[in-house]
Structure 1
């Protein structure tokens, strides 16, 4: 890898920009490809298309184009799960995410709930959600889940998430609760098509009842959205 290419790759990783390193196996020629195409290189269009797909799927692969084999290696920013509310469902959800590649942060200013004893090994943020979300800066590799049922905590987090590139936004609550929530967020200036980004009631329809089951339904929906799988109706209408 040339010093210029290495510096460009490192700069993209520091800035948390998705980028893919394409290497022609016959001679080691390399180029970087982002979601909007190749930069500083004249790659065959089929290589760029395959690279963008590999980047979106976050899967390395080898492709053959015009008789040449290319190795496509995505360098995506880390996956993050930002949970608002240190509640029982969050306790079940937090350990499920790391094996799936997600770094977890739980936001809750209520220090009696957000403790290391209840969330061992999990990053805890005791700031109010608007401050915490501004500092965390959700991006296209972030999922945001609100679980408190308290508009003072959930609404600022959802407001921030809707103004971000978060790939998944979910909120716990019944259909009635969600309708009231949407009305409040609309009053903050969010259009209907923006509000449609919120998954609420949250989770896949697996008949979840217990906190671990609801957490499983939420995590399954996050993975399905990330992988662009076909989704079914929400899992639970929590009170």
Structure 2
């Protein structure tokens, strides 16, 4: 890999943006393709599928064999609310390969004793989220039931293009939430991206069952999303 290509790849990695290194096996030539460049690329279909799955692959184009080396940021789950559901959800999510961050300014809840080995931020969302730089490889779950905590975090997650955004609460609670978020300038199409009530409808009743429903929905969204939604420009 030549120095210019390596520097370009490292730039994309540092910014948590996906990229693919295409290597022509016959000539050894390499090029870097970003998600925004995929539609115009001769390998558009194969590149889109590689981005969707996050898996490197050998492909053919004409008489040429090429290797697609997929470089995608590690997916992560950011949660507002150091609550009982989060206590079950955090270790489950970690076992599936998600990096987990929990944000909650309520220091009585956000304690290392309740959340061992978890990246815990005992801060308000407007303090914690800028440094986390939410992106298209981040899932976000609002679990506090407190609009002062959840609403600004939901706005940030939607504006940053998180691949999954979910919020705890009944349909009535969510209707009121949508009114508040609309008042913050969020449009109908953006608000429609919120999964609420959060999680798959499996009749979950306990915190652990709700955590299972949330994680299943997050994983399903991550693995089934169209490649176009993976553009983290």
Question: Pick from 46, 49, 53: which aligns with 1:53?
Answer: 49
Distance 2:13 2:185 in 1: 33
Question: Which stretches in structure 2 are left out of the alignment for 5+ residues?
Answer: 226-233
CA contact (8 A) 1:22 1:51 kept: no
Question: Which stretches in structure 1 are left out of the alignment for 5+ residues?
Answer: 230-239
SS of equivalent to 1:90: helix
Matched, 1:131 2:162: no
Distance 1:67 1:44 in 2: 17
Please say which of residues 84-93 and 182-191 is displaced more in the overlay. Answer: 182-191
| CA-CA distance at 1:44 after TM superposition | 6.6
1:155-174 correspondence runs (5 A): 155-174=151-170
| Cα deviations by residue, 1:95-149 (Å, 9 ceiling, x for unpaired) | 1112322111000111111111111111011110122122212100011101011
CA contact (8 A) 2:52 2:224 kept: no
Which structure's relative contact order is higher, taking Cα pairs within 8 Å and 6+ residues apart? 2
SS of equivalent to 2:134: coil
Question: Pick from 156, 181, 191: which aligns with 1:185?
Answer: 181
Distance 1:13 1:35 in 2: 13
Provide the residue aligned with 1:113 in structure 2: 109
Provide the residue aligned with 1:236 in structure 2: none
Provide the residue aligned with 2:75 in structure 1: 79
Q: TM-score normalized by structure 2?
A: 0.91
Question: Pick from 84, 91, 96: which aligns with 1:95?
Answer: 91
Provide the residue aligned with 1:232 in structure 2: none
Provide the residue aligned with 1:2 in structure 2: 2
Matched, 1:219 2:215: yes
Q: TM-score normalized by structure 1?
A: 0.89
Distance 2:84 2:203 in 1: 18
Provide the residue aligned with 1:16 in structure 2: 16
More helix as a share of residues: 2
Q: Once superposed, what is the RMSD of the aligned Cα atoms? A: 1.6
| Cα deviations by residue, 1:61-120 (Å, 9 ceiling, x for unpaired) | 111111221111111122111000000000111011123221110001111111111111
SS of equivalent to 1:36: helix
SS of equivalent to 2:11: helix
Which contiguous aligned blocks of 4+ residues in structure 1 show a shift greater than 3 angstroms?
Answer: none
Provide the residue aligned with 2:229 in structure 1: none
